Each structure stands twice: as C-alpha cells, then as structure tokens.
C-alpha cells in the first residue's frame, strides 16, 4: 500500500518476516502485563463500553481481560491461535484470521458495539487498513480502545514501535485514528496503576462518528 505522510513502508518492517502463523502456531498461555495493569484494562472497559453489547477482541488470545461480571451480549475474538482462543473464558465465538496478510474483517457492516486491541498493536503491519475496517464493522458512536504497554515479542514488533518510547507510541496510535475516516478525535489515558512499581498501561480510544456527523 502507499503510506500517507508521515509514514513510510519500511517503518512497518519486522526483524522476523516469516509467516505469523508459524510464529504463533504454538499456544503461549501467558499474560503480557501484570495483575495491576490487567485490572486497569478491566476498569477502563467497564467505564468506556456500554453493557450488553456485541464486542470484538482483535488480535485475541487466551485472555481478554474483561472485568469480572461485565455484562455483554457476545464477545468475538479474532486472532491467530485457535487453542488460545478456545481457552479464553470471555469469548463466545472466535475466528482464526491474520490481519497482517488480510486486513479485511470477516464481519458485516455495523455489527459491533465496541472493539479493543490489548497490548498487541505493536504487531500490526497494516494499521490504517485495519482501523478502517474496524470503523466499518462498528456501529455509530461505538468505542475502539487500543491498550498498550512496553512489553512485546521484539522480533515481531514493527520497526517504528521499537524506535520510539511511550510518548511517541501514544502519538503513533493517535495518528492511526486521525488518518482513518470515520472516527472522532482520539483520547489518550495513562492508566498505569503504580508508576515505577508495576507495568505501565496506556490506552488511546476513539468512537466512530455518529450518523449525524
């Protein structure tokens, strides 16, 4: 694809360019952030996502970190490892799909009341195409929350993510939203529960534009 300014294609290169299916074929049932950060994810979901909705967990794994008792109609996971998603107690359904080779989402327009990516945005090589697809499958006014920390599989993280730090990563995710039609202005929140003691946690969240916009 042609990348708009300020991006260049090489910014989304990775050390390991082998097939993602090969890298993720072995189930890794580990969490990438500690318990206080996980709790902060759940607290944000509780406040930003309306109850009883149909939600989409992109780049899903064996845990979605929804808060205990969160009322949902349905949570659909989309990820690369079937075993991991089958072991995720929050998921009601899941789809094995590689967004890096096919950024289109296998869902109808305006299917979901909200979407999230949790500490996996650093692996997305076609973020603008994926964000556009997320905007398509979300209902008007629905939130899309992108959580990130400083943890990663370095060989699979895109180059630009590894060359910047937390403030730059915030600006990067904000830019993904700003360059995608269909979203309101993104909002940033520092959710780090115990700065300097536990894992940092940040989220950039934007809502799809309403029909009146």
- What tokens were used for 212? 């009146």
Task: Please give the C-alpha separations between residue 81 and each of 13, 37, 124, 126, in angstroms, as whole numbers.
Answer: 22, 23, 16, 20
Of 194 and 41, the structure prediction assigns the larger pLDDT to 41
User: If 0-12 CB within 10 Å is exposed, 13-18 middle and 19+ buried, where does residue 163 land?
Assistant: exposed
Tell me how long the chain is.
Answer: 213
Question: Which pLDDT score is estimated for 6?
Answer: 78
Q: Which CATH class is domain 9-207?
A: alpha beta
Residues facing 88 on adjacent strands? none
Determine if the peptide bond prior to 161 is cis (ω within 30°). no
Query: Distances from the Cα of 84 to the Cαs of 17, 52, 93, 171, 196, in angstroms?
Result: 22, 24, 12, 31, 31
Q: Where are any strands of DSSP class E within the chain?
A: 54-58, 74-79, 93-96, 114-118, 143-148, 187-190, 202-207
- 79-127 pLDDT, tens digit per residue, is 999 999 999 999 999 999 999 999 999 999 999 999 999 999 999 999 9
The pTM assigned to this predicted structure is 0.93
Task: State how beta strands 202-207 and 143-148 pair.
Answer: antiparallel
> Rounded to whole angstroms, how far apart are CA atoms 36 and 192?
8
Q: What is the pLDDT of residue 2?
A: 60
For residue 210, what pLDDT is reported?
Answer: 85
- The radius of gyration computed from the CA coordinates of the chain, to the nearest angstrom, equals 16
CB 37 within 8 A of CB 199: yes
Q: Where along the chain do its domains lie?
A: 9-207
Q: The tokens of 39 are what?
A: 């709790």
């Amino acid at each position: 694809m042609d990348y708009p300014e300020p991006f260049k294609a090489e910014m989304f290169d990775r050390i390991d360019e082998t097939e993602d299916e090969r890298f993720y074929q072995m189930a890794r049932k580990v969490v990438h952030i500690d318990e206080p950060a996980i709790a902060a994810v759940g607290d944000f979901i509780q406040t930003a996502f309306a109850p009883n909705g149909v939600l989409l967990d992109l780049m899903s794994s064996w845990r979605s970190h929804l808060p205990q008792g969160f009322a949902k109609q349905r949570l659909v996971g989309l990820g690369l490892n079937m075993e991991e998603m089958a072991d995720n107690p929050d998921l009601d359904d899941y789809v094995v799909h590689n967004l890096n080779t096919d950024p289109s989402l296998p869902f109808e327009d305006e299917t979901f009341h909200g979407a999230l990516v949790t500490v996996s945005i650093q692996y997305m090589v076609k973020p603008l195409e994926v964000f556009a697809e997320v905007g398509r499958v979300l209902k008007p006014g629905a939130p899309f929350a992108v959580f990130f920390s400083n943890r990663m599989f370095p060989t699979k993280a895109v180059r630009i993510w590894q060359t910047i730090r937390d403030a730059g990563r915030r600006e990067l995710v904000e830019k993904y939203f700003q360059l995608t039609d269909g979203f309101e202005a993104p909002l940033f929140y520092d959710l780090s529960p115990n700065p300097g003691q536990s894992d940092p946690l940040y989220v950039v969240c934007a809502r799809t534009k309403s029909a009146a916009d």
